[in-house]
Structure 1
């Protein structure tokens, strides 16, 4: 689990915390255990803390759809799955450029 300065409250009566994996072709996968109440915007902040890729440059998609920052991770979970896979796209890494970590 990644440590973060982002404060995420646990949802009421939440028995478990889902895993969110953010994948990028150059950066590889980054996984975070977060509350289902965590927003996409907060996940972007976690990605920033790991990669220094600015939040405003990030675009996260799920099943081919661009996610708005206010969407909660819980809305992306199925009733039988505790994992969410997101794809990271960024203007800062297009054209073969690589982010230095």
Structure 2
């Protein structure tokens, strides 16, 4: 029941900054940025150059990966040789 005091109710809302970003993640950015240069695509020469760059980067990555794997394998082999040597000594001492 409403009171007979005649008081008014005021609803205060605060302005929220930001809000829901319903289209673009950032103001001014476009969703479709892929290779659109005045409606023209890459030329054959640009495509060949990009392919050769990609191949060079891939070969460099594979060489680097091979070097690191080889170093890991060498480290593992050294550790295994030490363990093997110790086990051999233990066996020889035990059977004497």
Give the TM interval when normalised to the shorter protein.
under 0.3
More strand per residue: 1
In terms of fraction of residues, the more helix-rich structure is 2
Greater RCO, CA 8 A, separation 6+: 1
- Asked which structure has the greater CA Rg, the reply is 2
TM-score of the two chains, using structure 2 as the length reference: 0.17
